[in-house]
Amino acid sequence: MPRPFPDPQTLNPVTLPDGTPHEGTVFLAPAVKAHAKFHVGDYTYASAHVPPDDWAFCLAPYLYDFSPETLTVGRFCQIADGVTFITSSANHRYDGFSSFPFMIFTGAGAASPSRPDAGPDTVVGHDVWIGQGAKIMPGAAIGNGVIVAAGAVVIGTVPDYAVVGGNPARVLRKRFDDPTIAALLELAWWNWPIEVIVAHEVAIVGADLAALRAAAH
Protein backbone atom coordinates (compact mmCIF):
# COMPACT_ATOMS: atom_id res chain seq x y z
CA MET A 1 0.00 0.00 0.00
CA PRO A 2 1.30 3.51 -0.77
CA ARG A 3 1.99 5.76 2.18
CA PRO A 4 -0.47 8.56 2.96
CA PHE A 5 -0.08 11.59 0.75
CA PRO A 6 2.16 14.17 2.46
CA ASP A 7 0.61 17.15 4.16
CA PRO A 8 0.92 20.23 1.90
CA GLN A 9 2.95 22.03 4.58
CA THR A 10 5.65 19.33 4.48
CA LEU A 11 8.86 20.98 3.33
CA ASN A 12 10.51 17.86 1.89
CA PRO A 13 7.68 15.53 0.81
CA VAL A 14 9.84 12.91 -0.96
CA THR A 15 11.53 10.23 1.13
CA LEU A 16 14.60 8.42 -0.20
CA PRO A 17 14.99 4.63 0.11
CA ASP A 18 17.23 5.10 3.15
CA GLY A 19 14.46 6.99 4.93
CA THR A 20 16.01 10.45 4.64
CA PRO A 21 14.16 13.36 3.04
CA HIS A 22 15.11 14.41 -0.49
CA GLU A 23 16.24 17.99 0.11
CA GLY A 24 16.19 18.83 -3.60
CA THR A 25 12.40 18.59 -3.78
CA VAL A 26 10.13 20.86 -1.75
CA PHE A 27 6.49 21.64 -1.49
CA LEU A 28 6.93 25.27 -2.43
CA ALA A 29 4.28 26.86 -0.19
CA PRO A 30 6.14 26.17 3.07
CA ALA A 31 9.48 26.91 1.40
CA VAL A 32 8.48 30.49 0.51
CA LYS A 33 5.92 31.25 3.23
CA ALA A 34 8.09 34.01 4.71
CA HIS A 35 7.97 35.97 1.43
CA ALA A 36 5.10 38.44 1.43
CA LYS A 37 4.83 38.69 -2.37
CA PHE A 38 5.25 35.00 -3.37
CA HIS A 39 1.97 33.07 -3.10
CA VAL A 40 1.84 29.33 -3.81
CA GLY A 41 -1.00 26.81 -3.72
CA ASP A 42 -0.94 23.45 -1.95
CA TYR A 43 1.05 20.53 -3.38
CA THR A 44 3.00 22.61 -5.89
CA TYR A 45 6.59 21.41 -5.80
CA ALA A 46 9.94 22.67 -7.03
CA SER A 47 13.10 20.68 -7.64
CA ALA A 48 16.77 21.61 -7.74
CA HIS A 49 19.86 19.49 -8.30
CA VAL A 50 21.64 21.65 -5.73
CA PRO A 51 19.08 22.66 -3.10
CA PRO A 52 19.23 26.42 -2.46
CA ASP A 53 19.24 27.98 0.98
CA ASP A 54 16.52 30.38 -0.16
CA TRP A 55 13.98 28.90 -2.57
CA ALA A 56 12.17 32.21 -3.08
CA PHE A 57 15.36 33.98 -4.13
CA CYS A 58 16.42 31.04 -6.31
CA LEU A 59 13.15 31.04 -8.25
CA ALA A 60 12.29 34.75 -8.24
CA PRO A 61 15.45 36.76 -7.56
CA TYR A 62 13.88 40.13 -8.42
CA LEU A 63 10.80 39.72 -6.26
CA TYR A 64 11.55 41.76 -3.16
CA ASP A 65 9.53 42.17 0.01
CA PHE A 66 8.96 45.78 -1.05
CA SER A 67 8.04 44.95 -4.66
CA PRO A 68 4.69 46.32 -5.80
CA GLU A 69 3.96 43.19 -7.84
CA THR A 70 3.18 39.65 -6.72
CA LEU A 71 3.96 36.18 -8.02
CA THR A 72 1.10 33.69 -7.66
CA VAL A 73 1.39 29.98 -8.48
CA GLY A 74 -1.57 27.61 -8.26
CA ARG A 75 -1.98 24.11 -6.82
CA PHE A 76 -0.26 20.94 -8.07
CA CYS A 77 2.28 22.77 -10.25
CA GLN A 78 5.61 21.19 -11.08
CA ILE A 79 8.65 23.44 -11.31
CA ALA A 80 11.86 21.93 -12.64
CA ASP A 81 15.48 22.77 -11.87
CA GLY A 82 16.71 26.09 -13.20
CA VAL A 83 13.33 27.77 -13.68
CA THR A 84 13.42 31.53 -13.11
CA PHE A 85 10.53 33.92 -12.65
CA ILE A 86 11.74 37.33 -13.80
CA THR A 87 9.19 39.57 -12.11
CA SER A 88 8.37 43.19 -12.79
CA SER A 89 10.82 44.63 -10.27
CA ALA A 90 13.62 43.52 -12.59
CA ASN A 91 12.52 46.12 -15.14
CA HIS A 92 14.26 49.38 -15.97
CA ARG A 93 12.50 52.38 -17.39
CA TYR A 94 13.01 52.25 -21.15
CA ASP A 95 10.63 54.83 -22.61
CA GLY A 96 13.28 57.56 -22.66
CA PHE A 97 16.77 58.01 -24.09
CA SER A 98 18.46 55.80 -21.50
CA SER A 99 17.43 52.73 -19.55
CA PHE A 100 20.16 53.27 -16.93
CA PRO A 101 18.78 52.87 -13.36
CA PHE A 102 20.22 56.04 -11.82
CA MET A 103 17.96 55.53 -8.78
CA ILE A 104 20.05 52.57 -7.61
CA PHE A 105 23.13 54.74 -7.26
CA THR A 106 21.59 58.04 -6.13
CA GLY A 107 19.45 56.51 -3.40
CA ALA A 108 16.49 58.62 -4.54
CA GLY A 109 14.22 55.57 -4.62
CA ALA A 110 10.63 56.31 -5.57
CA ALA A 111 11.47 59.99 -6.13
CA SER A 112 13.91 59.18 -8.91
CA PRO A 113 12.76 59.88 -12.47
CA SER A 114 14.57 56.71 -13.56
CA ARG A 115 12.27 54.53 -11.44
CA PRO A 116 9.88 52.58 -13.68
CA ASP A 117 6.18 52.41 -13.00
CA ALA A 118 4.95 49.41 -11.04
CA GLY A 119 4.66 46.42 -13.34
CA PRO A 120 2.02 43.70 -13.58
CA ASP A 121 1.73 40.64 -11.40
CA THR A 122 2.82 37.22 -12.66
CA VAL A 123 0.23 34.45 -12.38
CA VAL A 124 0.54 30.69 -12.94
CA GLY A 125 -2.58 28.52 -12.90
CA HIS A 126 -3.10 25.03 -11.48
CA ASP A 127 -1.41 21.80 -12.61
CA VAL A 128 1.22 23.61 -14.68
CA TRP A 129 4.48 21.87 -15.56
CA ILE A 130 7.38 24.28 -16.11
CA GLY A 131 10.37 22.53 -17.68
CA GLN A 132 14.04 22.85 -16.85
CA GLY A 133 15.61 26.24 -17.36
CA ALA A 134 12.42 27.99 -18.48
CA LYS A 135 12.09 31.71 -17.84
CA ILE A 136 8.76 33.28 -16.98
CA MET A 137 8.82 36.98 -17.83
CA PRO A 138 7.15 39.89 -16.01
CA GLY A 139 3.38 39.88 -16.20
CA ALA A 140 3.05 36.44 -17.75
CA ALA A 141 -0.34 34.81 -17.18
CA ILE A 142 -0.15 31.04 -17.58
CA GLY A 143 -3.40 29.11 -17.70
CA ASN A 144 -4.35 25.86 -16.01
CA GLY A 145 -2.85 22.60 -17.23
CA VAL A 146 -0.13 24.27 -19.31
CA ILE A 147 3.15 22.54 -20.14
CA VAL A 148 6.12 24.89 -20.61
CA ALA A 149 8.98 23.29 -22.53
CA ALA A 150 12.52 23.29 -21.15
CA GLY A 151 14.34 26.51 -21.93
CA ALA A 152 11.20 28.39 -23.02
CA VAL A 153 10.87 32.12 -22.43
CA VAL A 154 7.24 32.83 -21.60
CA ILE A 155 5.69 36.23 -22.16
CA GLY A 156 2.08 37.35 -22.22
CA THR A 157 -0.92 35.08 -21.79
CA VAL A 158 -0.82 31.32 -22.28
CA PRO A 159 -4.21 29.63 -22.75
CA ASP A 160 -5.39 26.71 -20.63
CA TYR A 161 -3.96 23.29 -21.50
CA ALA A 162 -1.51 24.60 -24.09
CA VAL A 163 1.99 23.25 -24.71
CA VAL A 164 4.39 26.15 -25.28
CA GLY A 165 8.05 26.32 -26.21
CA GLY A 166 10.68 28.57 -27.76
CA ASN A 167 11.91 32.13 -27.29
CA PRO A 168 9.56 33.86 -27.14
CA ALA A 169 7.38 30.90 -26.27
CA ARG A 170 4.56 30.11 -28.69
CA VAL A 171 1.74 27.62 -28.51
CA LEU A 172 2.92 24.38 -30.09
CA ARG A 173 -0.37 22.57 -29.63
CA LYS A 174 -3.32 22.14 -27.33
CA ARG A 175 -3.25 19.12 -25.05
CA PHE A 176 -6.96 18.37 -25.57
CA ASP A 177 -9.87 19.50 -27.70
CA ASP A 178 -11.94 22.49 -26.61
CA PRO A 179 -14.87 20.49 -25.11
CA THR A 180 -12.46 18.42 -23.01
CA ILE A 181 -10.64 21.54 -21.81
CA ALA A 182 -13.96 23.15 -20.86
CA ALA A 183 -14.95 20.03 -18.93
CA LEU A 184 -11.64 19.90 -17.07
CA LEU A 185 -11.91 23.55 -16.09
CA GLU A 186 -15.43 22.95 -14.80
CA LEU A 187 -14.38 19.84 -12.85
CA ALA A 188 -11.31 21.64 -11.39
CA TRP A 189 -10.04 18.42 -9.85
CA TRP A 190 -7.18 20.32 -8.18
CA ASN A 191 -9.70 21.76 -5.73
CA TRP A 192 -10.96 18.35 -4.59
CA PRO A 193 -9.87 16.95 -1.21
CA ILE A 194 -6.51 15.23 -1.52
CA GLU A 195 -7.92 11.83 -0.56
CA VAL A 196 -10.44 12.06 -3.43
CA ILE A 197 -7.70 13.12 -5.84
CA VAL A 198 -5.46 10.22 -4.85
CA ALA A 199 -8.38 7.79 -5.09
CA HIS A 200 -8.93 8.88 -8.69
CA GLU A 201 -5.28 9.14 -9.71
CA VAL A 202 -5.78 6.63 -12.53
CA ALA A 203 -8.49 8.77 -14.12
CA ILE A 204 -6.57 12.03 -13.66
CA VAL A 205 -3.30 10.88 -15.17
CA GLY A 206 -4.98 8.53 -17.64
CA ALA A 207 -7.35 11.09 -19.19
CA ASP A 208 -10.54 9.23 -18.23
CA LEU A 209 -13.01 12.10 -18.38
CA ALA A 210 -16.03 9.90 -17.74
CA ALA A 211 -14.50 8.60 -14.52
CA LEU A 212 -13.67 12.13 -13.38
CA ARG A 213 -17.21 13.25 -14.05
CA ALA A 214 -18.51 10.32 -12.05
CA ALA A 215 -16.12 11.13 -9.19
CA ALA A 216 -17.41 14.70 -9.05
CA HIS A 217 -20.98 13.55 -8.24
pLDDT of residue 153: 98
Whole-prediction pTM: 0.93
pLDDT of residue 119: 92
- β-bridge pairing 135-136 and 78-79: unpaired
| CATH T-level topology, domain 25-175 | UDP N-Acetylglucosamine Acyltransferase; domain 1 (2.160.10)
- Check if 92 is active-site: yes
- β-bridge pairing 71-73 and 122-124: parallel
Query: Which residues touch 37 (CB under 8 Å, ≥6 apart)?
Result: 63, 64, 65, 67, 69, 70, 71
Give the closest residue to 73 by CA, choosing from 117, 116, 22, 33: 33
Domain spans of the chain?
Answer: 25-175, 177-217
**Catalytic residue selected from 35, 39, 92, 126:** 92
pLDDT of residue 1: 55
Segments of the chain scoring below 50 in pLDDT: none
* Cβ-based neighbour number of residue 205 at 10 Å: 8
pLDDT of residue 144: 98
Instruction: Give the model confidence (pLDDT) of 98-113 as tens digits.
Output: 999 998 888 776 778 8
